[in-house]
Amino acid sequence: MAMSIIALTAGIISGIMGLLMLLIGLKLYNLYQKNPKKEGLYLCLSIFSFIITTWSATIVYLSAGSSLIVAQIFQKSIYTFVFIGIMLTFLFASKIFFTPKKELFVAYIVLGIACILILVAFPTSEVDNFPDSADYPLLLLKLEYGILLVLYILPTAFGIFWIGMKVSKKVDDPISKTSFRYISTAQLMIPLTFTFDTIASLFMNNIYVYSIFLYLTWVPPVVAAYLYDRGYTLPERARKRQSSNKGEED
């Protein structure tokens, strides 16, 4: 079976993006060890969840031609850890921007776990072929499960973005304002990932457009990790800078 160049390239890109996210995740974990806070833990775990997502995609791209079963297992891993990651960003945001009602909190987590169980328990993939190879398998998520994913992720991502931007307008401290905006913007990277993936699927008959948007799919998670890192660590970095400047003045 001839290897798809598009699949190979996508596998390499997603692997590299996962490595870049790992560097950010390890940095945040080191910060968490020095200053353990729940929000720091949730942020670290969410980033590591998305790392597993990207590396699972790498395995799917590279193994589909030799073992379809392995590829299907790791496709489930992709979406399982997407759900876990988005739930953890919700928990992270609940420590930064807002305090959800207990009923909403419980319902949100239970619904997320239910979605994960559905994805794990039922066949979720359709098999097509990459546009540059007539026999190299391309795994697609069935429409009904894609809808389930969108209905869970979009309200979370846009809801947190809206709340974060709203809160940023109410605070007077410019450092906190900027921090909140970094974190809020990071949320938009999650739906952007699926937007690129959807656009790619609409252009299966155009190799160039398809491949460009497939490769772009794995860029937003890294941007999100970077923005989360910048936003979460900004207050501490500003405090250290102020202390350093004060020490020089003394």
Kindly report the pTM of this predicted structure. 0.91
What are the pLDDT digits (tens) for 153-178? 999 999 999 999 998 888 888 888 99
pLDDT 10s per residue in the chain (250 long)? Answer: 678 999 999 999 999 999 999 999 999 999 999 989 999 999 999 999 999 999 999 999 999 989 999 999 999 999 999 999 999 999 999 988 888 888 888 999 999 999 999 999 998 899 999 999 878 999 998 888 888 888 899 999 999 999 999 988 888 888 889 999 999 999 999 899 989 999 999 998 899 999 999 999 999 999 999 999 999 999 888 887 776 665 555 5
Give all domains of the chain, ordered by start, each with its CATH number: 5-235 (1.20.1070.10)
What HEC string does the chain produce? CCCCHHHHHHHHHHHHHHHHHHHHHHHHHHHHHHCCCHHHHHHHHHHHHHHHHHHHHHHHHHHCCCCHHHHHHHHHHHHHHHHHHHHHHHHHHHHHCCCCCHHHHHHHHHHHHHHHHHHHHCCCEEEEECCCCCCCEEEEECHHHHHHHHHHHHHHHHHHHHHHHHHHHHCCCHHHHHHHHHHHHHHHHHHHHHHHHHHHHHCCCCHHHHHHHHHHCCCHHHHHHHHHHHHHHHHHHHHHHHHHHHHHHC
Which pLDDT belongs to residue 244? 65
